[in-house]
Amino acid sequence: MNKPSSESWAAYYARTGNRPPRRTLLVALNRFAADPGSEGAKFAIDLGCGNGRDTVELLRRGWSVLAIDAEAKAIEGLRQRPDLPPDAKLETRTVRFEDALLPTADLVNSSFALSLQPPSAFPATWQRIVRAVRPGGRIACQLYGVRDEWAGDPTITFFTRDGIEELLAPLAWELMDEEETDSVTPRGKPKHWHIFHIVARKP
């Protein structure tokens, strides 16, 4: 089974867009709330935002958000959400994250998206993300593991646990859950998942 094509992302957005925010985002937000001197405006980049289940949560909490997705339909769906706060501080860009300019941010969030680039591109994207996060800021994301059913797809980057630990070595992990399970995709197809759920703080 393959990852969704451009056409089937639309079905994915329809099924998942109204679901609650991802746990990784909520863990990161709780950590920010617990930081000393945490009040004040904050800025997040949501990479591979889809139609915005995480972006909307950030906006509701008063964050400014730059939401990025390769699919125009994702950005359209986000812009048309009825639950966007009226005073939303939202900027959007339709661009692949490998090519996106990333301004300095408190948080780079990328739920179930960041692995969706070829292994040759991943290291440079990751370096740009780490550079974009301000000291004390965070990265929240999922990355695919080598035993995921999609392993072997050259457009996706997969990690061993050692690979994840190496990637996160310069950061302080706050969450690193390895999940391996047989379940179904949001479009109802059976799939073996191997996923790392990550929240890490830049020292």
Ligand X SMILES: C[S@@+](CC[C@H](N)C(=O)[O-])C[C@H]1O[C@@H](n2cnc3c(N)ncnc32)[C@H](O)[C@@H]1O
Q: Which residues pair with 194 in a beta bridge?
A: 180
Nearer to ligand X, 46 or 106 (CB): 46
Minimum distance of ligand X from residue 144's CB (angstroms): 11
Residues engaged in binding ligand X (CB under 6 A):
9, 16, 22, 48-50, 53-54, 69-71, 74, 96-98, 111-113, 116-117
- The CB-of-26 to ligand X minimum distance in angstroms stands at 12
CB of 135 to ligand X, least distance (A): 25
Number of other CB atoms surrounding residue 90 within 10 Å: 21
Residue number, 15 or 172, with CB nearest to ligand X: 15
Q: How far is the CB of 156 from ligand X (least distance, A)?
A: 9
- In 35-133, which ranges are continuous DSSP H helix? 53-60, 72-79, 122-132
Distances (CA, A) of 142 to 40, 84, 99, 119, 128: 27, 24, 20, 15, 17
Work out the end-to-end distance of the chain between its first and last CA atoms, rounded to an integer number of angstroms.
39
CB-based contacts of 203, cutoff 8 Å, min separation 6: 135, 136, 170, 171, 172
Q: Which is nearer to ligand X, 39 or 45 (CB)?
A: 45
Beta carbon nearer to ligand X, 30 or 38: 30
